[in-house]
């Protein structure tokens, strides 16, 4: 095992790490979980220390499982949930829990950013994206507006994976794909936007150094190397935000190949050789983890998260059956969903449990079942929930097509790809075949590949993806189901538009 590369993905529900060899073969993987805090409706926070302890624990597990010697590991790549804000003081201590990507408290700050920038059109010109509640810049302004004593102590603001990088290397660093989601990066120029920082009256020194994704950003300190069983000085590359990293892990590094990732959130992701922007700002335009390339993506905040919510809050019967059968509870849920017909006999679920980003940019949107009758049972409810999450993904797919970006192949990943039922449902709703690939480890796999490139073992990201990634399964649409979903999909959009005003009113009642 002369050449081994580690990938660490600091996710929302847990950190996943894996080790691969120079051929892309996975040698070992490990996961450690941690909680999320919801202090108020619409708020979402985590303790950065949990990410660090999980990262160390999973690295140690990799070393043990793969029987690695310290010298075997040639590089480390980092990925993580995007947009989260870690506030450090001058002694590098965390000042408060991090505000996460799905936190919705910053509506007023988004309006403030747009106003200070000189309007939405000017903001799009500066950073290629509108101000959305999940992004990092509004969180910084929220801290300044609502916790000024804490803000006055802030020395650095780091993203989740970059906090782990700091603990590994002692370096304040990020990279262009994750930095794109702060709303403070000149996406076209791939550097921090000094003009916007000035308009927002934010000190540029609050932000870390920004690298390309495969560039070496630091190396393991002696103390950390000793703790985790690796060699001091092991290089750590820039890595990527979870979506760009997952795209690399799925081989989405050329035009026409699209990924649809159904995790806690849902993301539809398209590679772009140039900077493509949606004039209405419904899609995000970010730097890709491929040097000199970009991507557009739509983000659904509660895709697989809607099914997770159902399992946790309403799925006692299904979970107890799963325990008796000693299977994953999601297998029971999807088996129940399969008992209902396509379209769920007129039952719709709006998956806006934590507001929505694409295409509505509406923090007040709420989840809802609509169309319930006495005929509907648990099977209809679960199936309609899965259909609603997939309709929301299709919203993004249609916007990407509207930009003139070809959709020649859709590669699916995440929990929605591991389920044969949900894979088929996606093919039926998208109206075209979906494929899975040989590696299903997502962002952690992608940043391990970036580590192999950054340490000189491959010339480029497209080269290594071409070498190690291939499609292995294909699900084609079923004619009758696809025809039903063609009828249902427009109504899904109509329901949101009908309820938008009511959602805004409901949000004031919490």
Question: Is the torsion defined by CA of 176, 181, 186, 187 positive or negative?
Answer: positive
Taking only Cα atoms into account, the Rg of the chain, rounded to an integer number of angstroms, comes to 22
Q: Which tokens sit at 7?
A: 């990938």
C-alpha span between 363 and 234 (Å, rounded): 42
Consult the annotation and say whether 83 binds a ligand.
yes
Q: How far apart are CA 239 and CA 144, in angstroms?
A: 29
Q: How far is residue 489's CA from residue 382's CA, in Å, rounded to a whole number?
A: 17
Nearest to 103 by CA among 59, 40, 52: 40
Note whether 167 and 113 are within 8 A (CB). Answer: no
| CA-to-CA separations, 184 to 90, 124, 134, 454, in angstroms, rounded | 22, 11, 13, 25
3-class SS of residue 2: coil
Give me the residues paired with residue 99 across strands.
45, 85
Catalytic position from the list 9, 178, 242, 362: 242
Q: Cα(423)–Cα(312) distance, rounded to whole angstroms?
A: 22
Is 162 strand, coil or helix?
A: helix
d(CA 352, CA 385) in angstroms, rounded, equals 11
Pair type for strands 240-241 and 73-80: parallel
- Residue 346 is given by DSSP the state G
Number of H helices, E strands in the chain: 19, 24
Q: How far, in Å, CA of 506 to CA of 510, rounded?
A: 7
Nearest to 119 by CA among 57, 36, 196, 38: 196
Instruction: For residues 10 and 166, give the distance between their C-alpha atoms in angstroms, rounded to a whole number.
Output: 13
Dihedral-angle region of residue 263 (phi above 0 means left; psi in -120 to 50 means alpha; beta otherwise) = beta
Positions of E strands within 187-283: 191-192, 209-211, 216-219, 235-237, 240-241, 257-262, 266-272
CA distance 66 to 63: 6
* DSSP state letter for 477: P
Give 170-205 as a 3 state SS string. CCCEEEHHHHHHHCCEECCCCEECHHHHHHCCCCHH
Among 147, 146, 49, smallest CA distance to 94 is for 49
Residue 360 in marked binding region: no
Separation of alpha carbons 178 and 9, rounded Å? 13
Our answer to whether residue 242 is catalytic in this structure is yes
- Residue ranges for the known binding site for substrate are 82-83
Catalytic residue IDs: 242
- Residue ranges for the known binding site are 82-83
């Amino acid at each position: 095992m002369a050449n081994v590369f580690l990938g660490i993905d600091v996710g929302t529900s847990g950190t996943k790490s894996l080790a691969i060899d120079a051929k892309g073969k996975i040698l070992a993987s490990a996961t450690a979980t941690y909680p999320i805090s919801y202090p108020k409706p619409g708020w979402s926070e985590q303790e950065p220390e949990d990410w660090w302890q999980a990262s160390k624990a999973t690295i140690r597990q990799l070393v043990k499982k793969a029987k690695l010697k310290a010298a075997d590991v040639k590089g480390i790549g980092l990925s993580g949930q995007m947009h989260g804000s870690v506030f450090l003081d001058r002694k590098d201590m965390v000042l408060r829990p991090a505000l996460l990507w799905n936190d919705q408290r910053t509506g007023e700050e988004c309006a403030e950013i747009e106003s200070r920038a000189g309007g939405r059109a000017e903001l799009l010109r500066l950073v290629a994206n509108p101000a959305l509640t999940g992004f990092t810049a509004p969180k910084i302004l929220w801290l300044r507006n609502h916790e000024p004593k804490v803000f006055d102590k802030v020395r650095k603001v780091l993203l989740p994976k970059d906090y782990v990088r700091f603990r590994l290397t002692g370096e304040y660093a990020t990279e262009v794909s994750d930095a794109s989601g702060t709303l403070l990066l000149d996406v076209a120029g791939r550097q921090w936007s000094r003009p916007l920082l000035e308009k927002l009256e934010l000190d540029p020194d609050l932000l870390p150094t920004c690298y390309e994704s495969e560039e070496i950003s630091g190396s393991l300190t002696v103390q950390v190397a000793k703790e985790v069983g690796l060699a001091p000085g092991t290089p750590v590359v820039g890595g990527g935000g979870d979506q760009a990293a997952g795209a690399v892990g799925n081989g989405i590094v050329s035009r026409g190949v699209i990924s649809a990732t159904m995790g806690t959130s849902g993301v539809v992701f398209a590679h772009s050789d140039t900077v493509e922007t949606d004039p209405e700002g419904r899609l995000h335009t970010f730097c890709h983890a491929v040097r000199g390339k970009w991507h557009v993506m739509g983000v659904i905040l509660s895709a697989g998260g809607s099914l997770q919510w159902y399992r946790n809050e309403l799925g006692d019967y299904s979970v107890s059956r799963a325990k008796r059968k000693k299977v994953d509870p999601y297998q029971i849920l999807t088996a129940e969903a399969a008992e209902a017909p396509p379209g769920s006999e007129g039952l719709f679920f709006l998956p806006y449990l934590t507001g929505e980003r694409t295409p509505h940019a509406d923090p007040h949107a709420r989840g809802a079942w609509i169309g319930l009758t006495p005929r509907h049972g648990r099977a209809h409810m679960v199936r309609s929930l899965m259909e609603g999450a997939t309709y929301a993904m299709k919203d993004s797919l249609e916007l990407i097509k509207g930009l003139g970006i070809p959709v020649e192949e859709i590669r699916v990943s995440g929990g929605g790809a591991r389920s044969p039922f949900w894979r088929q449902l996606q093919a039926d709703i998208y109206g075209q075949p979906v494929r899975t690939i040989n590696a299903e480890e997502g962002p952690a796999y992608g940043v391990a590949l970036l580590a192999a490139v950054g340490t000189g073992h491959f010339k480029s990201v497209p080269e290594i993806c071409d070498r190690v990634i291939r499609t292995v399964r294909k699900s084609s649409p079923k004619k009758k189901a696809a025809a039903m979903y063609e009828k249902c999909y427009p109504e899904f959009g109509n329901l949101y538009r009908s309820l938008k005003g009511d959602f805004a009113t409901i949000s004031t009642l919490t």
